């Protein structure tokens, strides 16, 4: 059972912030052996929300929800991460489903754009996203842009 919290940066507790940053660094920097600027100054922007998924008081999943015009012309979801030891039971799908639901609540009738790692294209397609760009390298990792049209 996952407990979801949707929190703007200014309301994150010190512990929540530490857990969030640790999970993202563990996944995107350590696990993917990709040194890059994880702290990109978007976390603190007005209108940005952090979706945190807890299981037994442990942060196991997170994503960042951004209003349109922040990363893309449309609303976007980024920094989608799950704890490595918690994978294999559909946690990633639950996270993305919840992220889409929260975006629809925050910004009704808006499309959602993402910059997806290319090897995860099929995963995102299962949630209604379609590829909108050719492959490009971001921090040395192949990515594609994807869009989920308004339902």
pLDDT tens by residue, 47-81: 999 999 999 999 999 999 999 999 999 999 999 99
pLDDT at 151 > cutoff 80:
no
Model confidence pLDDT, tens digit, residues 133-148 = 999 999 889 999 999 9
Q: Compute the mean pLDDT over every residue in the chain, rounded to the nearest whole number.
A: 94
Question: What integer pLDDT is reported at residue 32 of this predicted model?
Answer: 84
Separation between Cα atoms, residue 22 and residue 84, nearest integer Å = 12
CATH of the domain at 109: 3.40.630.30
Per-residue confidence at 29, pLDDT binned at 50, 70, 90?
confident
Share of the chain residues as helix, strand and coil, in percent rounded to the nearest 5: 30, 30, 35
Per-residue confidence at 24, pLDDT binned at 50, 70, 90?
very high
- As given in the structure block, the two tokens for residue 90 are 């559909």
The residue among 31 and 124 whose pLDDT is bigger is 124
Question: What integer pLDDT is reported at residue 68 of this predicted model?
Answer: 96
pLDDT at 150 > cutoff 90:
no
The number of domains in the chain is 1
pLDDT at 2 > cutoff 80:
yes
CB 99 within 8 A of CB 65: yes
pTM, 2 dp = 0.94
Closest C-alpha to 146, from 109, 121, 119: 121
Question: What integer pLDDT is reported at residue 38 of this predicted model?
Answer: 80
Q: Which domain holds residue 28?
A: 3-148
């Amino acid at each position: 059972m996952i407990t979801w919290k949707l929190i703007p940066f200014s309301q994150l507790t010190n512990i929540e912030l530490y857990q969030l940053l640790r999970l993202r660094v563990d996944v995107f920097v350590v696990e993917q052996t990709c040194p890059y600027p994880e702290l990109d100054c978007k976390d603190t922007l007005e209108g940005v929300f952090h979706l945190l998924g807890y299981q037994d008081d442990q942060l196991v999943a997170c994503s960042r929800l951004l209003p349109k015009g922040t990363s893309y012309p449309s609303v976007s979801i980024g920094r989608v991460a799950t704890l490595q030891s918690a994978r294999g039971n559909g946690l990633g799908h639950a996270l993305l489903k919840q992220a889409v639901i929260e975006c629809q609540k925050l910004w009704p009738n808006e499309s959602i754009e993402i910059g997806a790692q290319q090897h995860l294209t099929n995963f995102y397609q299962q949630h209604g996203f379609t590829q909108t760009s050719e492959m490009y390298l971001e921090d040395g990792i192949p990515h594609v842009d994807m869009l989920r049209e308004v339902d």
